[in-house]
């Protein structure tokens, strides 16, 4: 989480240099690459390798947390220019609804996958 916190500042700087959408695409690509590297990790890997990959993944999370919210005002402004109607509440409510639904599906789906893989909750 420390890497994520510091990477938010880095991604803010990157977004000023290359634009918010391009920075988001770059951050998401770094995340995909980082998660893909997990499949290449051998059994009993050196702990330094695991930490390096986690830092890589954590740095991409900063872009994924920061930039969608930063892009939203630009989308609202462009929509107002094209339609002549101000619909901030609609955009933010749909954005938050989709965010909550994605979290719910992720938690539910991972629970189902763990159960299908044979995971049993430890009892006390």
Q: pLDDT tens for residues 44-53? A: 889 999 899 8
Query: What is the rounded average pLDDT of the residues 66-92?
Result: 93
CB atoms within 10 A of CB 35: 13
Query: What pTM was computed for the model?
Result: 0.78
């Amino acid at each position: 989480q420390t890497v994520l916190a510091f990477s938010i500042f880095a991604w803010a700087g990157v977004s000023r240099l290359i634009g918010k959408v391009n920075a988001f695409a770059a951050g998401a690509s770094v995340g995909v690459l980082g998660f893909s590297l997990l499949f290449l990790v051998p059994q009993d890997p050196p702990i330094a390798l695991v930490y390096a990959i986690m830092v890589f993944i954590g740095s991409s999370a900063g872009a994924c947390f920061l930039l969608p919210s930063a892009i939203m005002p630009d989308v609202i402004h462009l929509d107002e220019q094209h339609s002549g109607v101000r619909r901030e509440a609609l955009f933010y409510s749909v954005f938050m609804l989709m965010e909550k639904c994605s979290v719910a599906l992720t938690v539910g789906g991972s629970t189902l996958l763990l159960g299908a893989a044979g995971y049993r909750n430890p009892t006390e």
